[in-house]
Structure 1
Amino acid sequence: MKNNQATTSSKIGMKGAKIIVALMAGYSMVYMDKNMVSTAIIPIAKQFGFSTSQTGMIMSMFFLAYTLMQIPSGWLADKLGAKRVLLISLATICFFSYAFGLASSLIFFFAIRFGAGLGHGGYPPSCSKAVAENFSKEKRVMVQSGILTTSGIGGLMAFLIGANVIAINWRYGYLLLGTLFLIAFFLVLAFLPKDQIKKKSDRNKVNETKVPFTKVITNRNVLILFVVMILLNITYYGAMSWLPSYLTKTYSLSLGAAGGILAVNSVSQVIGSYFTGVILSKWFPGRQKTFILICSIISGSSILCLIIIHNIALALILVALIGMTTISAFTATFTWPQAILPQSIIGSSVGIINTGGTFGGFLAPMIIGALVQNAGGSFVVGFIFIAITIFVGGLSVFAVRVSKN
């Protein structure tokens, strides 16, 4: 066993770097897509005369499909291996990204975003499985945190590149996005090892006890983290979906100017994701609960301040704080299974936990869209709602039981 551990560690050189680059490329595109639609929806709503409820539903259809695919994709990643599921996922998103640029009716928009969500559903659990397959246990949280910096990288690409292309013609933005997904597909195809799950299962057959899926889905910690992810992601995706509309309306900004402010949010997410791994390893080892609560309090307070103040400079600071602390709370929760659950069920457990996250993403745009419409276009009630959900999410992590080794 020690030989295997040493071999694994020694491969975190060029081979490990290639795996990380490939996974980050795909994840960057995943987050670019999630962020870009919130900008694209502004000219789409104007062109087709959609209400805030209808545009909220377009964004929510994506998360409905994303939610439905999380558990099946996690199970498939455990059974078939991460690489196959990653490739299917990227190919599906690529197809629907190109198709989105051809949409011309509300039903078409619903159907295409639903299809894209099915593709997206395969990426997080299979990416987590790929990390578990290719890196030693003590390196997984740090590697996973590094990969999740792509939430900010994808946001930067969406708001600096995507927003400017969308300002010319939103259809061109999705032609660009489909092409970038195609590049990510070929990077995963080239850099991830083949059939690694078969080799590992043969090597560990004697030592590894198979855990029935029913035990995974009824695991106390898995279920609690599922609920926590619903709450955190209502805030994360609620802010991500509606901040562009809020900023353009409140401060009379152009799409490009709003994109510039949201690019700051994306930079802060890169910093937040990366330093989450460092902070948890060096200053908060085994204290994820305290870290997540602190991040949740700062994020919720910043959201409340954003709707109280009316100053563009302060708004810029608050948007950066919201991005950094919300993604830090999310990253700490998302990477936690790598430290407290066995490798054999990582795909399935992350699929279940992230189902909560994507369900939160499904609820957020729809609920906030309805709240904004009922408030006559005011974002105050909607933003109070997402501030409260992250406060509750931060407190909920204290129900997780972690065994002391």
Structure 2
Amino acid sequence: MKFTKKEWIVFGIVCLIGIFANLDKSMIGFTADKLISTYGFTKAEMGNLSSVFYVSFILVTIPGGWLVDRFGYKKFVVVSLSILMVFSFLFGNVSGLLAILFLRFLVGFGQAGYTNGAPKIISDNFAPEQCAKVQSIVIATAGIGGILASTVGQSIINVNWHYAYYMLAAGYLLALVLVIIFLKDKKVANTEVKEKTQPAEKVGFFDAWKNKNTLLLAVAVLFSNLVGVAMMFWLPNVFHVNFDIENPAMLSTIMVGFYVIMTIATAISGSVITKYFKGKEQKFIFWLSIITAICIVVFIAAPVYQVAIAALYVSDFTMMLAFSALLSIPYQIVPRKIIGSAFAVLNIGAFVGGIISPQLVSAFAKEDSYFSSFIVLAVCMIISGAATLLVKKPEEIK
């Protein structure tokens, strides 16, 4: 990618925030596993830990995308990072269940601010043909955050889980300083005569909600993210329960592999889609979703450990390719003036999936097996792919 110096700075800042945000999301799975063994919390209680996080996401996201489109992204991101810094630090100071749940709820407010601001930052600072590639690399920070969570994060959590959140708060402080210094809202230049003589069209609060394609993509993202959140949140415990893996080093190695593959898949997705599947994204997503579903079933049912891990990694790769492709579609079919609002709708779908995910898994899980839970996840992946096929591109709409 060829960027100007200013674009590289923006790109670097967005990726840095993404790394810390995703380190936070991935580390909570190891934290939950630690809390279960340390304090005796149940799986259902730890499922609530994830659910309350996504509830606060939705509360911010409902007006968030519209606010970003209407007033710019810098203030929104500054406030979100400040919230993340303060409440991550406080999260590291508690041990009671209610306090843990409440502070995780508040952390969700900050995460939502970044998630809603990032698409607008990308749209405003990069050329249309660059957006998909930039978006894919920003999504790849999920894998980088996961790798850090599975190595540095897990090591710190094993020593004292509180320290891990002090580290996280320091990372958010660094990102906040960089945003304040370097990030600026882009002022739209009135280069066309029409734009000079007429006031800019205002963005309506419900404009994105009236767009059928946006709603269909939100459904697809909901079921896709439901599966992704379940994998990241429950895998450490699944390996304990279904595969009798108690060695922290072995678990760390498996999870690092999972996140490395996630990083590779998301990082290359923009180039793969642009070069080989341009105009065929929907079918690409559908078939990847089918492959992912099959591999999820093989993973949880395989009698041989090596086959299970291989299936897990393939499902991880195809799932993240499909998810990245899903998030590239709005840049092609949604008007730029509502891009922030459109991604807010998609994010709400993702967050609803995040809320449902841990509860769904824990509801079908048995004391000694997650088999039924993962069959349900496979079905959810198929629904995601099917919903994508219903999206109509502008030239198809009569």
Q: TM-score, normalised by structure 1?
A: 0.92
Asked if residue 114 in structure 1 is aligned to residue 105 in structure 2, the reply is yes
> Which SS does the other structure have where 1:103 is aligned?
coil
> AA paired with 1:247?
F
Which position in structure 2 is the counterpart of 1:215? 207
Asked if residue 242 in structure 1 is aligned to residue 230 in structure 2, the reply is no
- Quick check: 1:248–1:254 contact (8 Å CA) kept in 2? no
Which position in structure 2 is the counterpart of 1:402? 393
> Which SS does the other structure have where 1:30 is aligned?
helix
Which position in structure 2 is the counterpart of 1:352? 345
> Which SS does the other structure have where 1:214 is aligned?
coil
2:273 to 245, 268, 280: 280
Which position in structure 2 is the counterpart of 1:25? 16
**Within-5 A mapping of 1:227-266:** 227-249=219-241, 250-266=243-259
- Quick check: 2:293–2:378 contact (8 Å CA) kept in 1? yes
Alpha-carbon deviations, 1:28-84, whole Å to 9, x = none?
111111110001111112222111111111111111111222232211211221222
* Structure 1 residue 203: Cα displacement: 5.7
Which position in structure 2 is the counterpart of 1:321? 314
2:175 to 184, 188, 191: 184
> Which SS does the other structure have where 1:252 is aligned?
coil
- Distance in 2, Cα, partners of 1:327 & 1:354: 16
Which position in structure 2 is the counterpart of 1:80? 71
> AA paired with 1:169?
N
Which position in structure 2 is the counterpart of 1:292? 285
Aligned-pair identity in percent equals: 29
- Quick check: 2:27–2:149 contact (8 Å CA) kept in 1? yes
Unaligned runs of 5+ in 2: none
RMSD: 1.8
Asked if residue 388 in structure 1 is aligned to residue 376 in structure 2, the reply is no
* Structure 1 residue 259: Cα displacement: 2.1
Alpha-carbon deviations, 1:188-227, whole Å to 9, x = none?
22332x232xx21766745754342223211101111111
- Distance in 1, Cα, partners of 2:182 & 2:257: 31
- Quick check: 2:77–2:114 contact (8 Å CA) kept in 1? yes
- Distance in 2, Cα, partners of 1:246 & 1:169: 22
1:308 to 301, 304, 308: 301
- Quick check: 1:265–1:322 contact (8 Å CA) kept in 2? no
* Structure 1 residue 248: Cα displacement: 2.4
| 1:137–1:144 Cα change, 3 Å | same
- Distance in 2, Cα, partners of 1:140 & 1:185: 23
- Quick check: 2:207–2:338 contact (8 Å CA) kept in 1? no
* Structure 1 residue 19: Cα displacement: 0.7
> AA paired with 1:404?
E
- Distance in 2, Cα, partners of 1:392 & 1:150: 26
- Structure 1 runs (4+) deviating above 6 angstroms are none
**Within-5 A mapping of 1:133-144:** 133-144=124-135
Which position in structure 2 is the counterpart of 1:4? none
- Distance in 1, Cα, partners of 2:321 & 2:350: 14
Which position in structure 2 is the counterpart of 1:224? 216
**Within-5 A mapping of 1:146-165:** 146-165=137-156
Alpha-carbon deviations, 1:257-291, whole Å to 9, x = none?
21221111111111111221011100000211011
- Distance in 2, Cα, partners of 1:102 & 1:371: 33
Which sits farther off after the overlay, 232-241 or 313-322?
A: 313-322
- Distance in 2, Cα, partners of 1:393 & 1:362: 16
- Distance in 2, Cα, partners of 1:63 & 1:34: 11
Q: TM-score, normalised by structure 2?
A: 0.94
Which sits farther off after the overlay, 96-105 or 253-262?
A: 253-262
- Distance in 1, Cα, partners of 2:35 & 2:79: 29
- Distance in 2, Cα, partners of 1:69 & 1:255: 36
- Quick check: 1:69–1:122 contact (8 Å CA) kept in 2? yes
* Structure 1 residue 155: Cα displacement: 0.6
Asked if residue 195 in structure 1 is aligned to residue 195 in structure 2, the reply is no
Unaligned runs of 5+ in 1: 1-8
How many corresponding residue pairs? 391
| 1:357–1:135 Cα change, 3 Å | same
Alpha-carbon deviations, 1:296-322, whole Å to 9, x = none?
112111110111114333333223222
> Which SS does the other structure have where 1:363 is aligned?
helix
